[in-house]
């Protein structure tokens, strides 16, 4: 049982990047193209709502900020792996996006004079993180969703799980999906596609990510023939709440919070004497782990030893005004009131700097396919993303890709032809997984083993032996995956089947991530190797590209685009 539906443009994902792309496509098309937004969740339940602290933008040139300063901070923060033409374009567009959201009705936090407020963030030389209390992503997504409802010719497909991106002869044909509410298999034909499906941080057990964020778009693009870029660079945020991993936003430190060891010392003064708690995330995370290894941490459950994030000196008024969500989460999950008690935190898997390779416009090697947001590697973040640049990236490349995809779809007169056999083959693969997966392996146990493996071997610090062990385990899990059991044989709302498909995606991404890290014999940004402890610009100032093959990822490299700043030693 299947269905074929057709649209001009399909947007895969409904977070900040996806909805911003849909709005811009609708504005650009002026009713001339038919747009679909497809999400495996209900719209407004995208992980973007979990973004807390702010969105970086130059809004105070008269007070000392500048495009050049934001660009320099981003390039330096990236450990010089960011493409500098991309960074320059980014910093010049994002201020207009902040004002656009303001016009669309977002409740930005305001100063007493009515101007939009900004707060300090790690690695930034100026307090440029625009905020809506500590619920910035939620308010941004709500504002975009409300705006999108004003446009006709946009169809929303909630709870559709994409199983494949169909490419024939090097050309995009459409998507295959499961309508989760009915179990019906669907082929969505389209002229163009924007992938905006988010990152893959649930590769790890201790993570800030929603459990629905399983890297689907990245894995499907990879299997469709598009290379993944710089996947070894996975960011660890310094302050994940122990034991849940829930994000304690960088705004806690931006508003003046301290990191303390078990001696009550602000230990970041030793590691980054100028920036202290507001050094870039890779540096703060490494510093925390080193403090814990020295015995200066606190014993936590299941090996999750931690340090303290201390907000007490900020006072109740400031915490309730600027960090209300943080207080709410601490009370709800840990029975801790940060007005009176420090918060137990440690580094936590948080963001994929890598993703599907794109050019500066978000376009891929396959005509008609663009990627935006965390699923993309437009090479903005390099080896380490600065906090508050991620929501900004989603807005900027949501706008760019939405406009370009709409223009493309208006020019292409007819839907591309497709082979029914390709569609039927993918449907049969999914049905076989549903009906014939009666093996002895528990897919949830495999998922736990994958996450444990990544936590142990691909964390804040890495080495050759650990990564070789990780690659061995991942490949063993790929073999064992062939013998999984899908117990639920129903069609409608079969989450057991969806979890099986997600696990396949995670295993592919894990193999790419570990392979790229093992080969990259240097330390740069979030990829910190204890056996190769220094940055090696002579050999490794280049981007990793991973292409799919039946034998595993095939790696190649491309140069970093350096237009303004040569790499220098990174000090804070």
What is the average per-residue pLDDT within 161-190?
Answer: 95
pLDDT band at 201 (very low <50, low <70, confident <90, very high): confident
Catalytic residues: 237, 253
> Which pLDDT score, from 0 to 100, does residue 62 have?
86
Backbone φ, ψ for residue 491 (5° rounding)? -95, -50
How far is 125 from 243, CA to CA, in rounded Å?
Answer: 32
User: How does pLDDT run across 205-217, given as a tens digit for each residue?
Assistant: 999 999 999 999 9
pLDDT band at 1 (very low <50, low <70, confident <90, very high): low
What is the average per-residue pLDDT within 51-57?
Answer: 94
User: How does pLDDT run across 345-390, given as a tens digit for each residue?
Assistant: 999 999 999 999 999 999 999 999 999 999 999 999 999 999 999 9
Is 221 strand, coil or helix? helix
How far is 455 from 303, CA to CA, in rounded Å?
Answer: 11
Q: How far is CA 497 from CA 178, 312, 441, 476, in A?
A: 10, 46, 14, 21
Concatenated DSSP letters of 444-506: HHHHHHHHHHHHHHSSSEE-HHHHHHHHHHHHHHHHHHTTBB-----STT-HHHHHHHHHHHH
User: For the purposes of burial, counting CB atoms within 10 Å of the CB of 404, is it exposed (0-12), middle (13-18) or buried (19 or more)?
Assistant: buried
What is the average per-residue pLDDT within 504-528?
Answer: 98
- In this structure, of 36-50, 98-112, 145-159, 289-303, the range with the lowest mean pLDDT score is 36-50
Q: How far is CA 455 from CA 356, 490, 513, in A?
A: 23, 34, 13
pLDDT band at 80 (very low <50, low <70, confident <90, very high): very high
User: How does pLDDT run across 223-271, given as a tens digit for each residue?
Assistant: 999 999 999 999 999 999 999 999 999 999 999 999 999 999 999 999 9
Percent of the chain scored above 90 by pLDDT?
A: 95
User: How does pLDDT run across 266-275, given as a tens digit for each residue?
Assistant: 999 999 999 9
The rounded mean pLDDT for the chain is 96
What is the average per-residue pLDDT within 105-134?
Answer: 96
How far is 72 from 74, CA to CA, in rounded Å?
Answer: 5
Domains and CATH numbers, the chain: 2-233+353-411 (3.50.50.60), 238-348 (3.90.700.10), 420-538 (1.20.58.100)
For residue 120, which of 276, 347, 6, 272 has the smallest C-alpha distance?
A: 276
User: How does pLDDT run across 539-558, given as a tens digit for each residue?
Assistant: 999 999 999 999 999 999 99
For residue 448, which of 480, 416, 404, 400 has the smallest C-alpha distance?
A: 480
What is the distance between the terminal CA atoms of the chain, rounded to a whole angstrom?
A: 60
How many Cα neighbours within 13 Å face the side chain of 279?
26
Tokens of 18: 């996806």
How far is 224 from 356, CA to CA, in rounded Å?
Answer: 11
Q: Note the pTM of the prediction, 2 decimals.
A: 0.96
How far is 220 from 421, CA to CA, in rounded Å?
Answer: 19
3-state SS record for 112-159: CCCCECEECCCCCCCCCEECCCCCHHHHHHHHHHHHHCCCCCEEEEEC
Strands 185-189 and 2-6: parallel
How far is 471 from 517, CA to CA, in rounded Å?
Answer: 10
- Asked if the model's pLDDT at residue 455 lies above 80, the reply is yes
The 10 Å CB-count burial string (b at 16+, else e) for 265-276 is eebbeebbeebb
Q: How far is CA 413 from CA 8, 28, 183, in A?
A: 10, 17, 32
- Residue pair 414/430 in contact (Cβ under 8 Å)? The answer is no
């Amino acid at each position: 049982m299947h269905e074929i539906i057709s649209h001009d443009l399909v947007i895969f994902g409904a977070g900040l990047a996806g909805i911003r792309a849909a709005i811009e496509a609708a504005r650009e098309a002026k009713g001339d193209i038919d747009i679909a937004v497809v999400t495996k969740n209900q719209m407004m339940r995208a992980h973007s709502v979990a973004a807390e602290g702010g969105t970086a933008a130059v809004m105070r040139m008269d007070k000392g900020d500048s495009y050049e300063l934001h660009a320099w901070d981003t390039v330096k923060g990236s450990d010089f792996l960011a493409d500098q033409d991309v960074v320059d374009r980014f910093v010049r567009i994002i201020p207009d996006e902040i004002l656009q959201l303001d016009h669309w009705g977002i409740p930005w936090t305001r100063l007493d004079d009515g101007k939009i407020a900004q707060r300090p963030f790690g690695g930034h030389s100026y307090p440029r993180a625009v905020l809506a209390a500590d619920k910035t992503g939620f308010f941004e997504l709500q504002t975009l969703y409300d705006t999108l409802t004003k446009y006709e010719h946009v169809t929303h497909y909630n709870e559709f799980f994409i199983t494949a991106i169909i490419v024939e002869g090097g050309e995009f044909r459409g998507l295959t999906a499961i309508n989760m509410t009915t179990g019906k298999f669907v082929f969505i034909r389209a002229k163009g596609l924007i992938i905006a499906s988010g990152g893959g941080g649930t590769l790890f057990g201790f993570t800030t990510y929603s459990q629905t964020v399983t890297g689907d778009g990245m894995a499907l693009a990879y299997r469709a023939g598009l290379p993944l870029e710089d996947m070894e660079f996975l960011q660890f945020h310094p302050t994940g709440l122990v034991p849940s991993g829930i994000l304690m936003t960088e705004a806690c430190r931006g508003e003046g919070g301290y990191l303390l060891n078990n001696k009550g010392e602000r230990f970041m003064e030793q590691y980054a004497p100028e920036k202290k708690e507001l050094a870039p995330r890779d540096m703060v995370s490494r510093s925390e782990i080193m403090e814990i290894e020295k015995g200066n941490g606190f014993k936590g459950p299941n090996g999750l030893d931690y340090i303290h994030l201390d907000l007490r000196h900020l006072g109740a008024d400031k915490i309730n005004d600027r960090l209300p969500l943080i207080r709410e989460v601490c009370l709800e999950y840990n029975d801790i009131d940060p007005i009176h008690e420090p918060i137990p935190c440690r580094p936590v898997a948080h963001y994929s700097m890598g993703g599907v390779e794109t050019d500066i416009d978000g376009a891929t090697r396959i005509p008609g396919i663009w990627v935006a947001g965390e699923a993309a590697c437009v090479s903005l973040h390099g080896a380490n993303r600065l906090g508050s640049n991620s929501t900004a990236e989603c807005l900027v490349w949501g706008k760019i890709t939405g406009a370009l995809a709409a223009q493309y779809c208006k020019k292409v007169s007819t839907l591309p032809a497709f082979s029914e056999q390709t569609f039927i083959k993918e449907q049969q693969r999914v049905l076989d997984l549903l009906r014939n997966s009666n093996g002895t392996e528990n897919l949830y146990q495999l998922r736990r083993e994958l996450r444990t493996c990544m936590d142990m071997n691909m964390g804040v610090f890495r080495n050759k032996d650990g990564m070789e062990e990780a690659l061995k385990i991942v490949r063993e899990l790929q073999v064992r995956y062939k013998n999984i059991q899908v117990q639920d044989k129903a069609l409608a709302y079969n989450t057991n089947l969806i979890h099986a498909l997600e696990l396949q995606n995670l295993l592919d991404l894990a193999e790419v991530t570990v392979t790229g890290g093992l080969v990259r014999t240097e330390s740069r940004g979030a990829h910190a190797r204890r056996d190769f402890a220094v940055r090696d610009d002579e050999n490794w100032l280049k981007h990793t590209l991973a292409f799919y093959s039946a034998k595993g990822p095939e790696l190649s490299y491309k140069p970093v685009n350096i237009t303004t700043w040569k790499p220098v030693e990174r000090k804070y």
